[in-house]
Amino acid sequence: MKTLFWLSSGLLAYAFVGYPLLLEAGSRLVRRAAARRAASPDVSPAAPSSARPSASMAASWHSAAQADAPSVRPSAGPSASSPDTARVIPDADLPTVSVLLSVFDEEAVIEHKILNFLALDYPAERIELCVVSDGCTDATESIVARYAGQRVRLLRQEARGGKTRALNRAAAEAQGDVLVFTDANAMFRPDCVRRLAERLADPGVGLVSGVSVYVDASGDTTAGGVYRRYEEWIKSRESDLFSIVGADGAAYAMRRALYTPLAPEYINDLLHPVQVLLAGSRAVSEPRAVVEEEVDAPVASPGTSRGEASSGMQPGPQSPPRPQAQPDSQPDTGAEMRRQTRIMAQSWLICLRQLPVLVRRGCWGFVWQMLSHKVLRWATLPLLAVCAVSAVALVPRGMPYALAAAALAGGGLLAWAGARGLGGGRGWGGHARTAWLFVVLHAAAVNGLYRLLRGQTFVTWTPRGD
């Protein structure tokens, strides 16, 4: 029992504390080495993005490494266009961008999403929105059609084929040099796309991931945002070392030259960073590229609105209103469990298929990151179960086991309170709901693997809230 307790607790401690600390140590070493190289008179560092002439910068949007060159691997280290050195690029030097959006029955949010896109701080002649209807049965298509010609294009898949097929269709018809992927309920802050494009001025970067901020109906950051900030902190350190493991599906940009059609059972935001790495480029995180996503609240039909959220988005005369949310609503845990199970089954599929490829290509640093950040995290619930059972059995053996059993019992009670909706959405009630969602997400990881091993694959999806 002692072996089980210390093994399970050690793996949990490594996944949530040890791995981030190793990333921090590696990041500091890399940055110090980069600083020494930049300060050395014997070494001429590559010119930063701000020193490149416009012609070279424009050419960099088209550059891409060859995917069939196994000897080409990105080196670790911060790039010339890291957030602390990147500058605002003149409009004339920005790349053409195609924002790709796959939708199924999103009439509740699609108009707000389009208005949000039209209000972006990006040259109008250099950006378009490609909306692919994946067999919508509601008013989504008619709403999008009203904005056709205003840099908005409507593409139709008459029969449902799934999000990935829809994105393949959109990418094939997109006109931009950069593809930006997003979700219908994720609202860009005005400079989000510009920030993504700025990082791609570095030809060594093939993908840039933004950051999601979760807000409630009043626009305030939710308790779950603490965990989100923890995740983004990890991604920023992964950016310094090898590449991020998974992009934020609500907002990330990729060079069109690196896009290859995906199998319909794959989830794009996890596979694309792997493909970019294998193509010889890097996938990085951009903390200044922010999208806001309202969670756990159904939205009303288009036309109802409220004032601009007080969560950091700068209001203006062109800022679109956010749809009105119903107060004191409770999320459908069963629907969220099904949604996360689908995502996790697709994620497991990618990891199990891509890890051998990464090993053959010698991407050992990224393999370590994927095992630590993804696979080990997905095993959290079984590890917690083993830790709890062994701790209870070892209570008579000493105080450390009793404390561990008490802590796990307290966490379980907090999650139970969150499942019952006790305490409301703020204070300890907000932490209770976060604890319950933590359980749901990690239970979905186990369920997703079980479904995958039984031969079940997922292709289509249902929007959150349906």
Tens-place pLDDT, residues 344-385: 888 888 899 999 999 999 999 999 999 999 999 999 999 999
Whether the predicted pLDDT of 315 surpasses 50:
no
State the pLDDT confidence band at 272, using cuts at 50, 70 and 90. very high
Gap between the Cα atoms of 48 and 82, Å rounded: 10
Whether the predicted pLDDT of 77 surpasses 60:
no
Average pLDDT of 313-317? Answer: 36
Q: Measuring CA to CA, which residue among 106, 105, 148, 109 is closest to residue 130? A: 148
Gap between the Cα atoms of 372 and 165, Å rounded: 30
Average pLDDT of 48-55? Answer: 41
**What are the structure tokens assigned to 101, written together?**
């959006």
**φ and ψ at residue 199, rounded to 5 degrees:** -70, -30
Residues whose CB falls within 8 Å of the CB of residue 362, separated by 6 or more in sequence, listed in order: 70, 73
**What are the structure tokens assigned to 280, written together?**
């010889």
Tens-place pLDDT, residues 120-142: 999 999 999 999 998 888 898 89
Tens-place pLDDT, residues 166-196: 999 999 999 999 999 999 999 999 999 999 9
Gap between the Cα atoms of 99 and 117, Å rounded: 9
Helix, strand or coil for residue 123? coil
Query: Is 111:302 a contact under the CB 8 Å cutoff?
Result: yes
**What are the structure tokens assigned to 111, written together?**
């108009």
Whether the predicted pLDDT of 9 surpasses 50:
yes
Average pLDDT of 247-253? Answer: 92
pLDDT of amino acid 84: 54
pLDDT of amino acid 283: 94
State the pLDDT confidence band at 257, using cuts at 50, 70 and 90. very high
Query: Is the four-CA dihedral 134, 138, 143, 146 of positive or negative sign?
Result: positive
Return the number of other C-beta atoms located less than 10 Å from residue 35's C-beta: 11
Query: Average per-residue pLDDT in the chain?
Result: 79
State the pLDDT confidence band at 323, using cuts at 50, 70 and 90. low
